Amino acid sequence: MSTTPTTDWLRLDQQICFSLNAASRAFGGVYRVVLKDLGLTYPQYLVMLVLWEHGDLPVKKLGEHLRLDSGTLSPLLKRLEAAGLVRRERSARDERSVEVRLTEEGTAMRERALQVPRRIATATGLDVDEIRALRARLDDLTTALDAAVAEEMGAGR
């Protein structure tokens, strides 16, 4: 099927990474439109989802749920605080920790956010089972990629 294997490899490579990247950015575009009413960006929306589901959390726990570190979360949370959706309070029993708490306004926003998932799901053009299947594949891929990075780190190269 190929007379120039090196070129084929380069092109195949591009297609995997590029497709994923493109899909991710296309999703970003949809969320940008859908979340405009709420005044949230997509990562901010993810933070709100976690808080709505799990209640108040320290920054560390929030980061574990979202796979994000403080370098990303600190400024993001300040913007959410400036928007009046969240308060940040140092924990009393561990002064290193900062508790992120929903304000009344932040809690109230959940009602308005309930319409978001349907609109996103519609935009994907996929049904529930297809979404589930795709999600499973992507999670497996993420696991494999993370493991590969961990190996490279440990084994040098």
Shortest distance in whole angstroms from residue 78 CB to DNA? 7
Q: Catalogue the E-assigned strands of the chain.
A: 57-58, 86-90, 98-102
Beta bridge partners of 87: 101
Q: Which amino acid type is present at position 66? A: L
Extract the tokens encoding 9: 């490899």
Question: Per rule CB under 7 A, is residue 36 in the interface with DNA?
Answer: no
Question: Per rule CB under 7 A, is residue 44 in the interface with DNA?
Answer: yes
Burial class (CB in 10 A: 0-12, 13-18, 19+), 123: middle
Which of a second copy, DNA, none lies near 95, with the C-beta cut-off 5 to 8 A by kind?
DNA
Among 76, 86, 109, 113, binds DNA (CB under 7 A): 76
Extract the tokens encoding 103: 């304000």
Q: Select 38 or 46, whichever has its Cβ closest to a second copy.
A: 46
Q: Which amino acid type is present at position 155? A: A
Question: Per rule CB under 7 A, is residue 151 in the interface with DNA?
Answer: no
Number of neighbouring beta carbons within 10 Å of residue 144? 10
Q: Select 48 or 59, whichever has its Cβ closest to a second copy.
A: 48
Among 2, 14, 15, 70, binds DNA (CB under 7 A): 70
**Using CB under 7 A as the criterion, which residues of the chain lie in contact with DNA when the complex forms?**
21, 25, 28-29, 32, 41-44, 58-61, 63, 67-79, 88, 93-98
